Amino acid sequence: MNLKLFKILTKKIKEKEIISPKEMEIIDNNCEYLGIPKILLMENAGKCVSDEIDNLRVELGDVPIFIFCGTGNNGGDGFATARHLGKCKVILLGKEENIKTYEARENFKILKNLTEFGNIEIKNATYPNEILEILNEIENLDKAIVVDAMLGTGIRGELREPYGTVVEKLNKIKRKNDNIKIISVDVETGNLNADKVITFHKRKTINKLNNLIVKPIGIPKEAEYVVGWGDLKALSKRDPNSHKGENGKVLVIGGSKEFFGAPILAGLAALKLADIVSIASVKDVVKKITNPELITYKLKGDYIGEKCIDKLIEISKKYDCIVLGNGLGVNEETKGFVNGFLEGIDKDKKVVIDADAIKVIDYEKFEFRENFIFTPHRREFEYMGVNLDNLPSSTIVLKGKYDIIFNKNNVKINKTGNSGMTIGGTGDILCGIIGGLYAKNEAFLSACCGCFINGYAGDLLLKEKGYYYTPMDIIEKIPHVLKLFG
Ligand SMILES: NC(=O)C1=CN([C@@H]2O[C@H](COP(=O)(O)OP(=O)(O)OC[C@H]3O[C@@H](n4cnc5c(N)ncnc54)[C@H](O)[C@@H]3O)[C@@H](O)[C@H]2O)[C@H](O)CC1
Ligand SMILES: [K+]
C-alpha cells in the first residue's frame, strides 16, 4: 500500500525545478547515502564545464583559459574541469592546506601531478599582489576564457576577500573587453557578471543569470525522494552556548486510566532531542512517571476531556511543540477534548498528532494546518480520508515497512527499520522523536528525520540483538544515530 501511495504522490506532487542550496546539499549527501560518491559527481561536473568551454573555443579559437578556484567543492569542480580541458592556468585563491574536502583535495593532487608537463599551470594566489598580477595578465589579453570556480552553493553572506577583489576586477575587465568570456560553475560568485552559468542537476534559487545551462551530473531521482543522512545533516545544530530550554521544549498530552506507557515512551524519546519535556496526563499516569527529567501536569478524571481544553491551551503556550494523542483513549470525552484543543490552540503552534487523537478528530470540519504533523498507521490513514487530489498543508507520515512522508508540496520515502519494530510503543517513540526535532526544525524535515532515526535505531539493534529488542532499547539508541550522522 505504501509504495503504491508513494508512486501516486510522486505523480501528483509537482517536482521542484528550482531548489535552494540547502535542498541541494541534502540531495548531495543523500547521493552518498545511496552509494554515489561525491567525487563521481565532481568528475561529471568537471566534464560538463569543460565540454561547454570546448564549444566556446570553437567560436573564440584556442584562447588562454584561467580557472579561479575557491577552497570548497566549487573549487574542486574547477580542478576537475582543468584536467578535462588539458591546457589552462589554475589559480587557487587560498592555501592548499585550506582546501576543505576530500574530493577537492584529491582533484588538486591529480592536477599537481600534471604540472611538470607544462599544460597545466597552478598558481597559489593568496595575497593581493599575486591576484592583481594575474588579473592584469588577463586584462592585457585580446581574448580569454575565465572560469569562476570560486564559490558555489556554499556561499554564506557578503563576499569576503579575496573574492570581492577578483569579482570587482573581472567585472571591470569584462566591461572593457567583451572577448574576455566568463563562465561560472554552478553559481555566479557574488555579483560576477558571467556570460554563462553551468549549474548542476537543477537551477538554484541563488542563480541570478538567465543565461544558465542546467547539466545533469548523474544524480538519480531517488536521491530527491529517499530519506537519508543528508536530511539529518540539515537539522539545526545545537548551539554550544545555549541555555536550558533553548534546545526545544516539548509537551506530551496523552495517557488515560487504560494506557500509561504511550505518553511516557513519547516523552522519553523526545527527551533525547529536546531539553525540556513535560507530560500532561491523568493522575493514574502521572503517578507512574518516576523519571525526574520529565515534568508532569496532573489532570482530573480517567480521560483527558473537554474540561482540560483551556488549561492545556494555556500550558501549551510555554512549549515549542505539542505531541498529542499517545494513549489518550477513544471515547466521547477525548473526542471533545482533541477537537476543541486543536481548534482553540494558537494558530502557529507546532503539533504532532498521533494514534487516538487521529481516531477522534471530526474530519468533516477539520482545518489541516501547515504546522500539524500526523503520524497515522494504515488504518488511521484510511480513517483520515485524505483527499489525494487536494493534498493537505499538514505533513503526514504514513508509517509502514516504507514510511511515506508527504504534504501538498513534498513527498519522501524512508526505508530504515525492520519487522522487529512491530512491537508496541515504536509509534509513540516515533512521535516523541519527531516532536523533539520539530521543536527546533521545520515540519517536513522533522518528520523525515524522525522516521529515519527511529528506523535506523531499530536496524542497529537488529544487528546487535536480533529481533528481540524493546522500545526502551530504541530510545537508548537515538543518540547513537544522531552521533553517526548529525
Ligand atoms: N550539488 C552537487 O551535486 C554537486 C556540487 N558540487 C559543487 O560543490 C559546490 C558546493 O561546495 P561547498 O564546498 O559546499 O561550498 P563552496 O565551494 O560553494 O564554498 C565553500 C567555501 O567558501 C567559503 N565561503 C563561503 N561563503 C563565503 C563568502 N561569502 N566569502 C568568502 N568565502 C566564503 C567557505 O568557507 C568554504 O570554504 C557546488 O556549488 C558545486 O559547484 C560538487 O562538486 C559536484 C556535485
Ligand atoms: K562559481
The rounded Å distance from CA 179 to ligand 2 centre is 20
pLDDT band at 365 (very low <50, low <70, confident <90, very high): confident
The rounded Å distance from CA 71 to ligand 1 centre is 8
Which atom of ligand 1 is least distant from the CA of 25?
1
In a domain, 296, yes or no: yes
My answer on whether 149 and 262 are in the same domain is: no
CA distance 474 to 263: 15
In a domain, 230, yes or no: no
Predicted local distance difference test score (pLDDT) of residue 272: 97
Is there a binding annotation on residue 377? yes
The fraction of the chain above a pLDDT of 90, given in percent, is 93
Question: Among residues 218, 253, 275, which one ends one of the domains?
Answer: 218
CA distance 203 to 24: 10
pLDDT band at 239 (very low <50, low <70, confident <90, very high): confident
CATH of residue 142's domain is: 3.40.50.10260
My answer on whether 293 and 435 are in the same domain is: yes
**ipTM of this predicted complex?**
0.96
Average pLDDT over every residue of 116-122? 94
Predicted local distance difference test score (pLDDT) of residue 242: 79
In a domain, 22, yes or no: no
Q: Are strands 249-253 and 321-324 parallel, antiparallel or unpaired?
A: parallel
Among protein residues, the one whose CA lies closest to atom 33 of ligand 1:
155
pLDDT at 59 over 80: yes
In a domain, 206, yes or no: yes
pLDDT at 247 over 90: no
| Ligand nearest to the backbone CA of 147 | 2
Q: Is 45 in the pocket of ligand 1 (CB under 6 A)?
A: yes
My answer on whether 210 and 258 are in the same domain is: no
Predicted local distance difference test score (pLDDT) of residue 424: 86
Is there a binding annotation on residue 163? yes
Name the β-bridge partners of 404.
398, 413
Is there a binding annotation on residue 153? yes
In a domain, 10, yes or no: no
In a domain, 383, yes or no: yes
My answer on whether 295 and 366 are in the same domain is: yes
Name the β-bridge partners of 372.
351
What is the total count of domains within the chain? 2
Question: Among residues 187, 218, 249, which one ends one of the domains?
Answer: 218
Predicted local distance difference test score (pLDDT) of residue 422: 84
The more confidently predicted of residues 226 and 422 is: 226
The rounded Å distance from CA 205 to ligand 2 centre is 14
pLDDT at 486 over 80: no
CATH of residue 464's domain is: 3.40.1190.20
In a domain, 224, yes or no: no
The rounded Å distance from CA 154 to ligand 2 centre is 10
Among protein residues, the one whose CA lies closest to atom 45 of ligand 1:
41
My answer on whether 202 and 248 are in the same domain is: no
My answer on whether 65 and 212 are in the same domain is: yes
Which atom of ligand 1 is least distant from the CA of 98?
37
Q: Is 201 in the pocket of ligand 1 (CB under 6 A)?
A: yes
Which atom of ligand 1 is least distant from the CA of 94?
37
pLDDT at 370 over 80: yes
The rounded Å distance from CA 197 to ligand 2 centre is 8
CA distance 190 to 156: 10
Is there a binding annotation on residue 77? yes
Among protein residues, the one whose CA lies closest to atom 23 of ligand 1:
155
pLDDT in tens, 175-200: 999 999 999 999 999 999 999 999 99
My answer on whether 105 and 198 are in the same domain is: yes
Please give the model's pTM, rounded to 2 decimal places.
0.94
In a domain, 23, yes or no: no
Predicted local distance difference test score (pLDDT) of residue 371: 98
Backbone angles phi, psi at 58, to 5 degrees: -60, -40
Predicted local distance difference test score (pLDDT) of residue 276: 96
Which atom of ligand 1 is least distant from the CA of 104?
43
Is there a binding annotation on residue 262? yes
Q: Output the average pLDDT for the chain.
A: 95
pLDDT at 362 over 80: yes
My answer on whether 317 and 387 are in the same domain is: yes
pLDDT in tens, 298-348: 999 999 999 999 999 999 999 999 999 999 999 999 999 999 999 999 999
The rounded Å distance from CA 410 to ligand 2 centre is 28
pLDDT band at 126 (very low <50, low <70, confident <90, very high): confident
Q: Is 173 in the pocket of ligand 1 (CB under 6 A)?
A: no
My answer on whether 100 and 246 are in the same domain is: no
Is there a binding annotation on residue 157? yes
Question: Among residues 218, 250, 268, which one ends one of the domains?
Answer: 218
My answer on whether 348 and 468 are in the same domain is: yes
The rounded Å distance from CA 480 to ligand 1 centre is 29
Pocket residue to mutate for ligand 1, from 155, 168, 205, most atoms within 8 A of Cβ: 155
My answer on whether 350 and 469 are in the same domain is: yes
My answer on whether 260 and 206 are in the same domain is: no
Among protein residues, the one whose CA lies closest to atom 31 of ligand 1:
160
Range of the domain at 372: 237-485
Is there a binding annotation on residue 78? no
Predicted local distance difference test score (pLDDT) of residue 421: 87
